[in-house]
Amino acid sequence: MPVRMIVGAFILNSGMSKLKGGDEAAEQTHATAKTAYPFLESRNPREFTRMLGTTEVALGTALLLPLVPSVVAGAALTAFSSGLVGLYLRIPGMREPGDLRPTQQGIGLAKDSWLVGIGTSLVLEEIGRARAERCARRR
């Protein structure tokens, strides 16, 4: 639960900030996203940022609420953070040439790889727990 709480609070805060941000922040967020994911070019920057912020609020809330199963919250976190890691991998200048190591500029995005690990761990832990319970019932 502590991992879910800290990650959930961080993502919830990020989403709230995006929802409160102005047009300049929306333009910046959209510009970064469309660099990595060109299909987002046609999206309105304000609409895109509002949708992203809403997604982050929903994900952060799911992580914070213990009634949401860890396997569900973890799968959602893994999917969302995989998109963030995609930014790191696709945006020029974030990595050292020919390497996965981040440049100074890329460190902020490289840290999102931790979220993939946390989400995957939540899913695997829950699957392992369910498997152990099934085995215990068979005995």
Counted domains in the chain: 1
Question: What average pLDDT does the structure give for the chain?
Answer: 92
Write out the two tokens for 34: 């469309």
Task: Name the region of 98 (left: φ>0; alpha: ψ -120 to 50; beta: rest).
Answer: left
User: What is the per-residue pLDDT across 12-65, written as a single tens digit (0 to 9) for each?
Assistant: 999 999 999 899 999 999 999 999 999 999 999 999 999 999 999 999 999 999
Structural domain for 13, as ranges: 2-138
**pLDDT at site 4:** 93
**pLDDT at site 34:** 94
Cα–Cα nearest to 109, from 135, 85, 81, 82: 85
Question: What's the whole-model pTM score?
Answer: 0.85
Over range 95-102, report the average pLDDT: 91
